[in-house]
């Protein structure tokens, strides 16, 4: 903890070595966050880069009150939001298969589907769905806050979340089915 | 189903919450490079105030340098003219003496240059003390060889015919240096007058010729005896050869104060009667004299211009950390059209030398922008209350809409056609170079202007979902109290007469700093104005 504070203080005075070390400490987790908000790895790297530049730029505003990691994470999410807003958004038309999906326990899914595959599913969501899903599930935001951040109505936020969930559910189901088939073939 | 949905949430949360991956090494390299650039930018921001001070000092130094050059140039001209005057004064007597002209009624020309700089000192006072001055070798006499009046036999008196009597009088600071042929006064009312006095062109400069007070100087050929006929007051020095003085436009101060050597007709008579006496008379200048030529290149270096300029304005808008989509540059710029923009004011010009002019004054500019109907959203204001935020290129304002339930963040409402109005008072500083071509003057120039905000307002009509339309006038927030712009243009002046000129100036004004600081966008105002005005030479 003391080491982190020293790094932060070093970053505040613009010490490049401290900045490098802090980056090395936080980078893997933050890149994981960025990956969830972007479609590709390159896009995630862009968000990570912009996010860390802001972290170093506004480091003096950190008051050591809350979790530093949480503060950095917030900046990363804001960068992702800004990137999302800066792009002209197209309303994606997603075909959601309404057929019922047989319930499978999370443990079973996780044993069959890897993290990477789940991440890819999130990345395959349309930007609007991905943003709403991420903000709701990972950041714990309410629909009102999401609507405010994305400049949409609360209803749209709810609808987007519902569609995103349905899409992911279908994707998970498909993935399990194909995994089962592979097992049977073997 | 609902449970399944939550399972999906949990599934992904558990799987991806702590997910960690390594990005490529190029990310840190890019961060490193960007931080270096930002460091440079932050240093430049840090020294922003110093830059301003440096700019002001530079302008001041430039002004001082130009002023000093102007003064030096003026001094050089004065010295040159002094020399020329001296040469003329030296050469004339020599010519005259060599020609053997020794008569009392010598009508040889004498060009006398009189420079007047400053106070209109009453020369009478100077003259009242002149006897003292003369006693202190303040009179320099250029002898015109000998003027011998041989009417009275046995008496060999040479009466000095002072062709060029120069009184170098250093009476007091700022007073006359030369009373006779040269007069230089310095002081507040700087007026430089070159007066060419030519003898022999008129005979009636001093019609009221009275010989009440005399100053007689008797000369021997080799010895000069000066006798002061001190009769309470010594009036003037008379040269008998400068009987004819031509004047065309003598300034009042000169008419009142200037003492010139005059030819006293009575003196001639006296001289004929009693040889050996030369009479110096003080005569008032004839007010109706027409024979003294004054060339005056004086004129106040100050002039004032009243102008009006309709402007064509273009705005440069760029994002400054917008939080919401409606705060972005594209969304704001799309809806705005400049309706009307103009500038008018009064500028004071100060000529530095013949080629440069400094210009400053006060200007007032007004700019109206039409904003198309658009949807505005409720956002937390600076006090934490939720109000509808109206964004425009100038800044933003919060529109309070009375309704039974306060708006929630993200709620929207329609704003019908709106207008924003910006008004500034400007303090310009321009430097212009002067080209003169006949009655026309062309003045290319450049400078800066400090613009102080006097009014920033948005007028809008809100159309709520229920109820009647609401007119709302709100102050624009996020505007800087002052912004700076540069200007460059070419002024064309047409001289109507000595007092008035017409002025026309196409000028380009470009933003040096943006007009806003705490808004979601930064806006630079550039404009092209066609300024038309009247110049009054003071």
Residue among A19, A137, A152 whose CB faces B9 most closely: A137
What confidence category does residue A32 fall into, taking pLDDT thresholds of 50, 70 and 90? very high
Residues of B whose CB is below 8 A from A115: 15-16, 19
Residue whose pair of structure tokens reads 């401290």 in the numeric block: A18
| Chain A residues close to B11, C-beta within 8 Å | 106, 109-110, 118, 172
Residue B149, classed as helix, strand or coil, is coil
Instruction: Write the burial class of residue B226 (CB in 10 Å: 0-12 exposed, 13-18 middle, 19+ buried).
Output: middle
Alpha-carbon dihedral angle through residues B16, B19, B24, B30, given to the nearest 10 degrees: 80
Q: Do the Cβ atoms of B16 and A14 come within 8 Å? A: no
Beta-strand relationship, B418-433 and B374-380: unpaired
- The total number of residues written for chain B in this structure: 538
- Nearest by CB: B7 against A57, A106, A145: A106
Which string of DSSP letters, residue by residue, matches A112-156? Answer: HS-HHHHHHHHHHS-HHHHHHHHHHHTS---HHHHHHHHT--HHH
Q: How far is CA A115 from CA A44, B11, B16, B18, B344, in A?
A: 17, 10, 7, 10, 69
Task: Show residues of chain A in contact with B325, CB under 8 Å.
Answer: 85, 150-151
* pLDDT number for residue A37: 93
Q: Residue A7: which residues within 8 A CB-CB, separation 6 or more?
A: A18, A21, A22, A25
A139 touches chain B (CB under 8 A): no
A129-138 residue pLDDT tens: 999 999 999 9
The Cα B501–Cα B299 span in angstroms is 15
- Token pair of B532 as six digits: 């038309």
Cα separation, A144 vs A154, in Å, equals 5
Q: Give residue ranges of B with CB < 8 Å to any A CB.
A: 4-5, 7-24, 26-28, 30-32, 34-35, 38-39, 322, 324-326, 328, 377, 379, 408-410, 412
Alpha carbon of A59: minimum distance to chain B alpha carbons (Å): 13
Determine the distance in angstroms separating the CA of A100 from the nearest CA of chain B, rounded to an integer: 9
Asked whether B341 and B310 are in contact (CB, 8 A), the reply is: yes
Note the pLDDT of residue B494. 93
Q: Are B386 and B379 in contact (CB under 8 A)?
A: yes
Ranges of residues in chain B with a pLDDT under 50 are 1-2, 97-297
Buried b (16+ CB within 10 A) or exposed e, B308-324: ebebebebebeebebbb
More confident residue, B299 or A122: A122
Query: DSSP of B201-258, one letter per residue?
Result: S-S-S--S---SS--BEEE-SS-EEE-----S-------TT-----BS---HHHHHH-
Apex A79 CA angle, A74 and A84, nearest 5: 125
Cα–Cα distance for residue pair B414/A101, rounded to 1 Å: 43
Exposure of A134 in the CB half-sphere (CA atoms within 13 A): 31
How far lies B483's CA from each of A105, B429, B519, in Å? 64, 14, 15
- Which three-class secondary structure state does DSSP give residue B11? helix
Structure tokens at B205: 């400069």
Window 17-56 of A, Cβ < 8 Å to B: 19-20, 23, 27-29, 31-32, 35-36, 41, 44-45, 48-49, 52-53, 56
Longest dimension (CA), chain A: 61
CB contact under 8 A, A144 and B409: yes
Which residues in B lie closer than 8 A to residue A57 (C-beta atoms)? 38
- Are the beta carbons of B325 and A31 separated by less than 8 Å? no
Question: Do B413 and B368 touch, CB atoms closer than 8 A?
Answer: no
Strands B418-433 and B412-415, how do they pair?
A: unpaired
CA closest to A103 among chain B residues: B4
Token code pair at residue B530 = 């066609």
Q: For residue B361, is it left (φ>0), alpha (ψ between -120 and 50) or beta?
A: left
Best of A165, A167, A171 to disrupt the B interface (most B CBs within 10 Å) is: A165
Closest-CA distance of chain A to residue B409, Å: 6
- Put simply, whether A144 touches B (Cβ < 8 Å) is yes
DSSP per residue over B416-455, as a string? Answer: -SEEEEEEEEEEEEEEEE-EEETTEEEEEEEEEEEEEEEE
Q: How far apart are CA B306 and CA A21, in angstroms?
A: 64
Asked whether the beta carbons of residue A165 and residue B11 sit closer than 8 angstroms, the reply is no
Contact flag B12-A137 (C-beta cutoff 8 Å): yes
- Among A32, A85, A153, whose Cβ lies nearest the Cβ of B21? A32
Supply B364's token pair: 């007032």
Q: Coil, strand or helix: which one is B192?
A: coil
- B185 DSSP 8-state letter: -
Question: Which tokens is A114 given?
Answer: 């890897």
List pLDDT tens digits, range A79-95.
999 888 877 555 555 55
Of B14, B38, B326, the CB nearest to A57: B38
CB A138 within 8 A of CB A99: no
d(CA B432, CA B166) in angstroms, rounded, equals 43
Residue B390's SS3 state is strand
Asked if the Cβ–Cβ distance from A35 to B21 is below 8 Å, we say yes
Shortest alpha-carbon distance between residue B321 and chain A (Å): 9
pLDDT single digits (tens) B223-276: 444 434 434 444 444 444 444 444 434 444 444 444 444 444 444 444 444 444
Of B293, B362, B371, nearest in space to B332 by CA: B371
- In A53-92, the residues whose Cβ lies within 8 Å of chain B are 53, 56-57, 82, 85-86
Query: Which chain B residues have a beta carbon less than 8 Å from that of A52?
Result: 27, 31
Query: Does A94 lie at the interface with B, CB-CB under 8 angstroms?
Result: no
Separation CA B375–CA A58 (nearest Å):
33
pLDDT of residue A76: 93
Chain A partners of B19 at a C-beta cutoff of 8 Å?
32, 35-36, 115, 119
Question: Which residues is B528 bridged to in the sheet?
Answer: B312, B508
pLDDT of residue A109: 67
Query: Measured between beta carbons, which residues in chain B are less than 8 angstroms from residue A79?
Result: none
* Cα–Cα distance, B446 to B508 (Å, whole number): 9
The three-state secondary structure class of B395 is strand
Q: What is the pLDDT of residue B466?
A: 67
The pLDDT assigned to A2 comes to 57
Residue A68 C-alpha from the chain's centroid: 18
Note the pLDDT of residue A114: 82
């Amino acid at each position: 903890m003391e080491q982190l504070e020293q790094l932060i203080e070093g970053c505040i005075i613009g010490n490049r070595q401290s900045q490098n070390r802090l980056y090395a400490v936080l980078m893997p987790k933050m890149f994981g966050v960025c990956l969830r908000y972007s479609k590709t790895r390159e896009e995630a790297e862009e968000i990570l880069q912009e996010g860390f530049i802001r972290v170093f730029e506004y480091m003096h505003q950190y008051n050591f009150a809350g979790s530093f990691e949480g503060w950095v994470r917030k900046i990363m999410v804001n960068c992702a939001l800004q990137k999302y807003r800066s792009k002209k958004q197209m309303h994606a038309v997603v075909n959601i298969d309404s057929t019922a999906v047989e319930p499978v326990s999370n443990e079973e899914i996780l044993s069959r589907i890897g993290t990477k595959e789940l991440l890819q599913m999130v990345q395959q969501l349309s930007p609007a769905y991905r943003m709403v899903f991420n903000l709701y599930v990972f950041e714990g935001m309410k629909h009102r806050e999401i609507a405010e951040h994305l400049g949409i109505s609360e209803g749209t936020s709810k609808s987007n979340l519902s569609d995103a969930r349905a899409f992911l559910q279908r994707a998970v189901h498909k993935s399990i089915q194909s995994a089962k088939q592979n097992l049977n073939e073997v | 189903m609902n449970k399944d949905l939550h399972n999906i949430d949990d599934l992904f949360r558990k799987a991806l919450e702590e997910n960690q991956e390594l990005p490529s090494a190029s990310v840190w390299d890019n961060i490193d490079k960007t931080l270096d650039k930002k460091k440079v930018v932050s240093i430049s921001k840090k020294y922003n105030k110093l830059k301003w001070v440096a700019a002001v000092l530079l302008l001041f130094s430039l002004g001082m340098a130009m002023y000093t050059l102007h003064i030096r140039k003026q001094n050089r001209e004065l010295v040159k003219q002094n020399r020329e005057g001296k040469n003329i004064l030296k050469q004339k007597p020599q010519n005259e003496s060599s020609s053997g002209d020794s008569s009392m009624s010598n009508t040889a020309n004498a060009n006398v240059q009189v420079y007047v700089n400053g106070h209109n000192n009453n020369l009478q006072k100077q003259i009242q003390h002149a006897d003292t001055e003369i006693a202190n070798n303040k009179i320099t006499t250029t002898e015109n060889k000998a003027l011998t009046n041989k009417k009275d036999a046995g008496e060999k008196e040479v009466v000095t015919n002072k062709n060029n009597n120069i009184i170098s009088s250093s009476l007091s600071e700022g007073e006359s240096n030369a009373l006779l042929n040269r007069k230089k006064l310095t002081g507040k009312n700087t007026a430089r007058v070159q007066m060419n006095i030519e003898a022999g062109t008129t005979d009636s400069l001093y019609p009221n010729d009275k010989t009440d007070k005399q100053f007689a100087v008797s000369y021997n050929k080799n010895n000069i005896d000066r006798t002061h006929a001190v009769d309470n007051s010594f009036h003037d020095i008379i040269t008998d050869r400068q009987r004819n003085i031509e004047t065309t436009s003598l300034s009042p101060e000169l008419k009142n104060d200037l003492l010139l050597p005059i030819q006293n007709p009575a003196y001639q008579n006296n001289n004929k009667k009693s040889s050996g006496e030369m009479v110096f008379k003080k005569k008032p200048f004839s007010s109706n004299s027409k024979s003294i030529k004054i060339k005056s290149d004086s004129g106040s270096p100050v002039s004032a211009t009243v102008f009006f300029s309709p402007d064509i304005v273009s705005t440069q808008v760029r994002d400054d950390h917008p939080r919401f989509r409606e705060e972005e540059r594209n969304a704001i710029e799309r809806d705005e059209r400049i309706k009307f923009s103009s500038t008018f004011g009064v500028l004071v010009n100060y000529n530095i030398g013949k080629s440069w002019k400094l210009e400053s004054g006060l200007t007032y500019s007004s700019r109206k922008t039409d904003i198309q109907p658009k949807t505005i959203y409720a956002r937390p204001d600076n006090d934490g209350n939720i109000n509808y935020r109206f964004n425009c290129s100038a800044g933003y304002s919060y529109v309070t809409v009375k309704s039974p339930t306060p708006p929630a963040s993200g709620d929207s409402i329609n704003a019908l056609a709106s207008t924003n109005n910006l008004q500034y008072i400007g303090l310009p500083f321009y430097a212009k170079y002067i080209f003169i071509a006949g009655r026309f003057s062309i003045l290319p120039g450049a400078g800066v202007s400090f613009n102080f905000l006097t009014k920033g307002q948005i007028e809008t009509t809100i159309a709520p979902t229920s109820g009647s339309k609401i007119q709302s006038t709100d102050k624009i927030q996020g505007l800087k109290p002052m912004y700076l712009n540069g200007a460059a243009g070419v002024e064309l002046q047409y001289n109507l007469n000595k007092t008035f000129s017409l002025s026309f100036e196409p000028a380009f004004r470009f933003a040096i700093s943006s007009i806003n600081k705490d808004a979601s966008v930064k806006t630079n105002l550039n404009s092209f104005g066609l300024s038309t005005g009247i110049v009054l030479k003071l």
